[in-house]
């Protein structure tokens, strides 16, 4: 059964958002050494229940087109298969499948209520 394994915060100003979450929640941020403008978030020690996440620079203006929420990402065995399942169940594709180089494949969908969620399939060869 696919599980939530990651969350993302989309931010117009990543530095401002990082300062906010460090100050309020004490989270740690580490700039990802990859081709995307991305920071990995550690929310607590590994032995404590919870998940870690990431922060990404928001794509698009805040006018209904951009993501303006936390996005939970679900680990799935095949992004194409699960995107098809989502659309057949009444959801819609929000952002098509894209490679996260060296990590895997990611797509964003909207559920029947308009909530965005991510689906990721790990693939170290993704480019």
Percent of the chain with pLDDT over 90: 60
Mean pLDDT score across all residues of the chain? 89
From the list 125, 56, 122, the residue with the least C-alpha distance to 95 is 56
Q: Please tell me which residue, 39 or 61, carries the higher pLDDT value.
A: 39
Q: What is the pTM of this model?
A: 0.72
pLDDT in tens, 103-113: 999 999 988 86
Per-residue model confidence as pLDDT tens digits over 52-103? 999 998 876 676 666 667 789 999 999 999 999 999 988 899 999 999 999 9
| pLDDT average, residue stretch 11-17 | 89
- Percentage, residues of the chain above pLDDT 70: 92
50 CB burial (10 A radius; 0-12, 13-18, 19+): exposed
Distance between CA atoms of 39 and 65, rounded to whole angstroms? 22
In the chain, % helix, strand, coil (3-state, to 5) comes to 15, 40, 45
Report which of residues 7 and 70 the model is more confident about.
7
Backbone phi, psi, residue 4, to 5°: -70, 125
CB-neighbour burial class of residue 74 (10 A; exposed 0-12, middle 13-18, buried 19+): middle
């Amino acid at each position: 059964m696919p599980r939530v394994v990651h969350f993302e915060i989309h931010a117009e100003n990543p530095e401002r958002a990082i300062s906010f979450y460090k100050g309020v929640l004490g989270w740690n941020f580490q700039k990802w050494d990859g081709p995307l403008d991305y920071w990995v978030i550690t929310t607590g020690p590994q032995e404590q229940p919870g998940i870690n996440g990431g922060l990404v620079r928001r794509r698009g203006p805040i006018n209904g087109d951009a993501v303006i929420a936390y996005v939970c990402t679900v680990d799935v065995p095949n992004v194409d298969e699960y995107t098809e399942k989502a659309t057949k169940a009444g959801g819609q594709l929000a952002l098509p499948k894209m490679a996260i180089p060296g990590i895997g494949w990611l797509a964003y969908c909207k559920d029947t209520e308009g909530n965005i969620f991510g689906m990721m399939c790990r693939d170290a060869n993704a480019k």
